[in-house]
Amino acid sequence: MKYKLITAILFGLIFTTSTFGQQSTREVLTLEKNWRFHNGDVANGSSKSLNDSKWEKVTVPHDWAIKGPFDKEIDIQNVAIVQNGEEVATKKTGRTGALPYIGIGWYRNEFSIPNFNSDKKVILLFEGAMSEPEVFINGKKIGSWNYGYSYFYFDITPHILGTSENTLAVKLTNRELSSRWYPGAGLYRNVRLIVKNNESINQWGTFITTPLITSELAKVNIKTKVSGEQLTLVSRIKDASGKTVAIDSTAAIYGNEFEQNIAVNNPNLWSPETPYLYTSVSRLYAGNILKDETSTKFGIRKIKYEANKGFSLNDSIIKFKGVCLHHDLGPIGTAVNKAALRRQLTILKDMGTNAIRSSHNMPSLEQLELCDEMGFMFLAESFDEWAKPKVENGYHRYFETDAEKDIVNLVQATRNHPSIVMWSSGNEVPDQWGSEGAKRAKWLQDIFHREDPTRPVTVGMDQVEATMASGFGAVLDIPGLNYRVHLYDEAYKAFPQGLILGSETASTVSSRGIYKFPVVAAKMKEYDDFQSSSYDLEACSWSNIPDEDFVLQDDKPWVIGEFVWTGFDYLGEPTPYDTKWPSRSSYFGINDLAGLPKDRYYLYRSRWNIKEKTLHMLPHWNWEGREGEVTPVFVYTSYNSAELFVNGKSMGIQKKNNSSPTNRYRLMWMDVKYEPGTIKVVAFDDEGKAVAEQVTNTAGKPYKLVLEADKTQLDADGKDLSFVTVSVVDKNGIPCPTATNQLQFNVKGDGVFRAACNGDATSLEMFHLPTMKLFSGKLVVLVQSVSKAGEIELKVTGKGLQTAKIKITTKN
């Protein structure tokens, strides 16, 4: 009865007081439109009186370099990549994508705050600015930051011109030799203004943990840092339907922090299978006046890392089936876009992926929100360099002065995301050698622990023997091994933690739809066309094929999972062709730069997607000129055996076996000779019953285009995207896997053409122009909505091909 009485009083307090201060609570304005941009330095770029009317009008997020053109002279790096085992420096073309990101850029915008007065506080928040941003308000510099991947904010209250119009100017400086991949350029993540009362909840001031969980009860701990005196905090927890399930009020403050422990009965637990989210609504009162209100989504979940057992989520042992992702979004560059991120995660979800590693930088907030919502565990990484350099103008220039504040901002901005289950303080840092590196690892780890005691910290280590000798690896909460499969057992014995994480694995290289003969395993294999074979047997000098990691994951309980390099191809690092031109993007991706699955996608899916069956056959069957020559057929499948037929003749039954890693995870017919017609694979269940089949036919000449959109209804918000896959078929509707026709794209109606991409790492066609060649018979066109509901029509044409059209609707 006492509990019910207190609850009633609290509900009454909220009901009667919430109307007093409605005008006084915070406002958040996202500065998206009305930006002007100038590529190049401007002597008086910060001046309020500057005439910027002739500057380019852009929308933020914005990447100034993605429109190109590609040029091998951009950021040529004469370097020996130590982490790749190189001893002699060579000229690397395309290492950072061969796009014009280097230089100075200015952004300007105006804003006003109609209700501004002395009781207000104004925060200017940047979620990412590439790079070295200098920020000016009304011509006065109010602050700067160095790290282009960091979130940061300034209190700009003293610089606001009352209710008048204010000028915001941002200068960005991107240096050559500052990155190992395409970093992008500009205000590539959101910029926001937060207007609130002086008495308010601090920026990133809420920290929610769930220290006790049973099936009947969860203890939710909420720490809230505030500004002001004689305040009361009321916290209400809502379930996913918006129903209030718990409430608490406190006036007890310790320094500037409230702490509440709130019981949630019969909690729904967050996991990749059931990504259930609660919302905490915090209301701050001075007397009976509502001063501030914030909402924080969180999940109730339990994580544990145990020696010799592994990682458990909600008391169930699971392994990380993860991929590494760089931050670029292929043809739209680094400008963050939630629709593009959602598409990536949807593709990965179907593959069976349950975890993401942000490589090698702080993730976008949008990516974390989607991982919370869609069910992906997350390894949030901070740095690619510490005190010792990899590139001349890398993060090492700021490490001593900035590392702590960058980590603080990373953790405080993101620690309420249930998807994050581990932090990473670095990747393949040269500091792995010697005692100084071990001390830096400990220092960084302690900062993470101070800001968030609930999650462990790892580092992606590639110099495993050095870290065993120096003590570096022993310092870490979780030893992360990048590749080095031959050292897993030795590292497990040497390190005291009793477990190993494959923090970066495989680095297998392939080009979608490209197959090379003879079919043999190879390292650093190069071909005249600068492509890699999609038989998935080629890797780099330091790396390996997927099957070798599968063995470790399946046979070693103390190996807690892997993060494959990479989920998608990305701009830059075109290994093994980083000294060749043209080659400007990676070959590592399980999916290509356009987001189209390579064959390797189905190899991972056959192991990771345990809910749905996989049956995939390669290569294609269009090999004019190879008649009678050996053309092996591989099958990636979740079934253990299958039979192959060529034009109706059986090539025999293959069964998975443990004779080698590839025989354990693939079905391979190595002696098949090519003859035009039909190949068919029939898969058997464990009882020997035929349960699935796949057929591939030899195609005729390209005849007509086929369009398939990932979605045909968009939000009319000027940001939503439809990814339309364009393919070509012959007169019988059979896909033409070798077609390279030049296509043209026309968008009309209530939408615009945004970009196109064919996944070819050697293509120098610019993404933003409405024409591109097919690559291996396919490409992808991006159609973007405008701020008006209606209908969009995409028409695709090509010489000698039957035109195709698709309609997409938009709604408010």
Residues tagged active-site: 428, 504
Query: At 132, which amino acid appears?
Result: E
The amino acid present at 721, given as its one-letter code, is: L
Which 3-state string (H, E, C) describes 608-623?
HCCCCCCEEEECCCCC
According to DSSP, the β-strands at 649-655 and 641-646 are antiparallel
- Report which of 374, 375, 465, 365 is spatially closest to residue 409, judged by C-alpha positions: 365
Q: In this structure, which amino acid lies at residue 125?
A: L
Q: Give the helix/strand (H/E) hosting 428.
A: none
User: Which tokens in the block code for residue 197?
Assistant: 């009362």
What residues form DSSP beta bridges with 782? Answer: 723, 755
Phi and psi torsions of 76, nearest 5°: -60, 130
Rg of the chain, C-alpha, whole Å = 28
Task: Mark residue 186 as left, alpha or beta (left: phi above 0; alpha: psi -120 to 50; beta: remaining).
Answer: left
Tokens of 681: 């694979």
Q: In what order do the strands lie in the sheet with 217-227?
A: 200-213, 217-227, 257-265, 253-254
- Among candidates 509, 503, 514, which has minimal Cα distance to 538? 509
C-alpha to C-alpha distance for 203 and 205, rounded to whole angstroms: 5
Separation CA 702–CA 740 (nearest Å): 10
The total of other beta-carbon atoms located within 10 Å of residue 612's CB is 9
Residue 4: partners with Cβ closer than 8 Å, 6 or more residues away: none
DSSP β-bridge partners for residue 77 = 92
Task: Report the amino acid identity of residue 71.
Answer: D
Token pair listed for 165: 């119009």
d(CA 634, CA 590) in angstroms, rounded, equals 17
Are 352 and 609 spatial neighbours (Cβ–Cβ below 8 Å)?
yes
The 3-state DSSP class for residue 433 equals coil
Q: Which helix (H) or strand (E) holds 79?
A: strand 77-79
CA 270 – CA 276 distance, rounded (Å): 5
The C-alpha atoms of residue 155 and residue 173 are separated, in whole angstroms, by 23
**CA torsion angle 589 594 600 605 (round to 10):** 110
Q: Is the peptide bond before 619 cis (omega within 30 degrees of 0)?
A: yes
Amino acid at 634: F
Tokens of 192: 């926001």
Q: Which of 720, 596, 213 is nearest to 418 (CA)?
A: 213
Helix H or strand E encompassing 348: helix 338-351
Give the Cα separation of 657 and 648 in Å (integer). 26
Task: Report cis status (omega within 30 of 0) of the bond before 486.
Answer: no
Instruction: DSSP letter for 50, please.
Output: -
Beta partners for residue 250, in sequence order: 233
Task: Answer for the pair 186, 64: CB distance below 8 angstroms, yes or no.
Answer: yes
Contacts of 190 (CB under 8 A, 6+ apart): 30, 31, 32, 60, 61, 127, 336, 365
